[in-house]
Amino acid sequence: MKNYQVDTNGYYGEYGGAYIPEMLYPNVNQLQYTYLNIIQSEKFKKEFEDLLKNYVGRPTPLYYAKRLSAYYKTNIYLKREDLCHTGAHKINNALGQILLAKNLNKKRIIAETGAGQHGVATATACALMGMECDIFMGAKDIQRQAPNVERMKMMGARVVPVHSGSKTLKDATNEAIRDWINNPSNTHYIIGSVVGPHPYPDMVARFQSVISAEVKKQLDTNPDYIIACIGGGSNAMGIFYHYLNDAVKLIGVEAAGHGTETNMSAATLALGTKGVLHAAFSKVMQTKDGQVIEPHSISAGLDYPGIGPQHAFLEDEGRVMYDSVTDKEALIAAKLLSKTEGIIPALESAHALAYLEKLAFKDSDNIVINLSGRGDKDLETYTKFDQNEY
């Protein structure tokens, strides 16, 4: 069995590591040394599983999408992460990390957010646990994901607007890291995806792996394909996790924005080169001088110039196939799912759905798509698209 998981030094092949300034060393080092013991303890597992079941509403259904399957003449199953409490897979990780933070006696939580789903999930976890919560969000994202901002505030979180750089997810992450540097002892940083310094990519993947653990139980035989969208890569890692050593074709779909041939894209594996972003060595969209490029995607949750180091590794190993779809293709796919199944997907998840247009499948194939989130937050964008404003 090939090992696709992190090694003892925090690397996936050459990718990963912890390229942190000394100011973060005590916190990150503490996580590195304690996370496995904590999350593998019986007490932790019991608490986490209880929350996933009774609070999040897991297991989420694996729904056979009959009309969509008929449309594409194949068999399509949707893993309904959109039905999680708060409307996306992000809550799985937020709850796992907040339990960890409690174990480490932290009093305050910070997080970055793009689409606002991770911010909402973190604000929710903080309300549940009675912890102080600051969410960093790019000023541009605050505008395009306004409903989520209100949700976070209602649950008592502070939403800190970030005005630097592209005013999106990358800059929100920078600002969260800076806050952690300034508040080293009482604060835990709940990173929202499989990015950041070791042990975050592995820790977040473990918390999200519940998705594929459930799919394994829900299907009698392995599917032919599993498809997920990729921002940082956490919903994809979650649904790939228990299938890495099985004969299943795994496909990660990045956001091409206006197209990978334009300079308005967020398809990191397609356009990036090796480098360090947010303290991990992975693929990064950057100039030849190493300045990080401001990405573009209509989907705030995918508008990120980096990608989790494990995905960079899985691509090099040839284990996962990565491709991308454009803003427009995602919008069309969102409309199609809404009309055929009565499910409005998040713009992020719509990228995974859009890949059905590109996939050469057989009638008999079974395809699982990770429907990572619901689309309420994107209604304004969808409405504009309907009125041909996009």
Partner 1 sequence: MNIKSLFETKAEKLLNIYITAGFPKLNSLEQIIPALSNAGTDIIEIGIPYSDPISDGPTIQMSNAQAINNGITLEAIFNQLEKIEVNTPLVLMGYFNSILQFGIKEFCKQCKNVGVSGLIIPDLPIDVYLKKYQSTFVENELSNIFLITPETSEERIQFIDRHSSSFIFAVSSSSTTGNSKNIEDSQEYLQGLKEMNLNTSILVGFNIRNRSNYEFVSQYASGAIIGSAFIKHINNSQDIIDDVSNFVKNIK
The window from 40-48, 50-58, 141-149, 278-286 that contacts partner 1 (CB under 8 A) reads: 278-286
Verify binding: residue 286, ligand PLP, rule CB under 6 A.
Answer: no
Contact 249, 225 (CB under 8 A): yes
Spatial distance between the Cα atoms of 262 and 120, rounded to a whole number of angstroms: 32
Contact 305, 316 (CB under 8 A): no
Helix, strand, coil percent content, the chain, rounded in steps of 5: 45, 20, 35
Q: Of 314-353, which residues contact ligand PLP (CB under 6 A)? A: 346, 348-349
What does the per-residue mask of binding to partner 1 show for 172-211, with x meaning CB under 8 A? --x--xx--xxxxx--------------------------
Among 32, 166, 235, 297, interactor with ligand PLP by CB under 6 A: 235
Q: Exposed e or buried b for every residue in 230-266, given b needs 16+ CB within 10 A?
A: bbbbbbbbbbbbbbbeeebbbbbbbbbbebbeeebbb
Return all residues near 33 (Cβ < 8 A) that are at least 6 apart. Answer: none
> Which residues on adjacent β-strands are paired with residue 292?
286
Shortest separation between residue 300's beta carbon and ligand PLP, angstroms: 7
Among 117, 168, 173, 324, interactor with ligand PLP by CB under 6 A: 117
Residue 1: exposed, middle, or buried by beta-carbon count in 10 A (0-12, 13-18, 19+)? exposed
Contact 245, 320 (CB under 8 A): no
What does the per-residue mask of binding to partner 1 show for 150-169, with x meaning CB under 8 A? --------------xx----
Among 289, 360, 363, 364, interactor with partner 1 by CB under 8 A: 289
Spatial distance between the Cα atoms of 116 and 180, rounded to a whole number of angstroms: 20
Verify binding: residue 292, partner 1, rule CB under 8 A.
Answer: yes
CB under 5 to 8 A by kind: which of partner 1, ligand PLP, none does 346 bind? Answer: ligand PLP
Give me the count of residues in the chain.
Answer: 390
Spatial distance between the Cα atoms of 171 and 293, rounded to a whole number of angstroms: 12
Shortest separation between residue 163's beta carbon and partner 1, angstroms: 10
Shortest separation between residue 197's beta carbon and ligand PLP, angstroms: 16
Shortest separation between residue 187's beta carbon and partner 1, angstroms: 11
End-to-end CA distance of the chain: 47
Spatial distance between the Cα atoms of 351 and 201, rounded to a whole number of angstroms: 22
Verify binding: residue 18, partner 1, rule CB under 8 A.
Answer: yes
The window from 66-74, 112-120, 209-217, 261-269 that contacts ligand PLP (CB under 6 A) reads: 112-120
Shortest separation between residue 274's beta carbon and partner 1, angstroms: 8
Contact 240, 215 (CB under 8 A): no
DSSP 54: I
CB under 5 to 8 A by kind: which of partner 1, ligand PLP, none does 151 bind? Answer: none
Verify binding: residue 80, ligand PLP, rule CB under 6 A.
Answer: no
Which of 126, 127, 134 is closest to 159 using CA atoms? 134
Among 201, 231, 295, 305, interactor with ligand PLP by CB under 6 A: 231
- Total residues at interface with ligand PLP (CB under 6 A): 22
Verify binding: residue 86, ligand PLP, rule CB under 6 A.
Answer: no
Q: Is 372 a catalytic residue?
A: yes
User: Closest CB to partner 1 among 257 and 305?
Assistant: 305
Report the run of H or E that residue 275 belongs to, with start and end: strand 273-277
Q: Exposed e or buried b for every residue in 105-127, given b needs 16+ CB within 10 A?
A: ebebbbbbbbbbbbbbbbbbbbe
Verify binding: residue 275, partner 1, rule CB under 8 A.
Answer: yes
Indicate which residue of 90, 140, 283, 377 is catalytic: 90
Strands 225-229 and 366-371: parallel
Among 8, 105, 221, 291, interactor with partner 1 by CB under 8 A: 291
CB under 5 to 8 A by kind: which of partner 1, ligand PLP, none does 311 bind? Answer: none
CB under 5 to 8 A by kind: which of ligand PLP, partner 1, none does 174 bind? Answer: partner 1
CB under 5 to 8 A by kind: which of ligand PLP, partner 1, none does 161 bind? Answer: none
Note the residues at the interface with partner 1 (CB under 8 A).
17-23, 25-26, 164-165, 170, 174, 177-178, 181-185, 274-279, 284, 286, 288-292
Could you give the residue numbers annotated as active site? 90, 112, 372
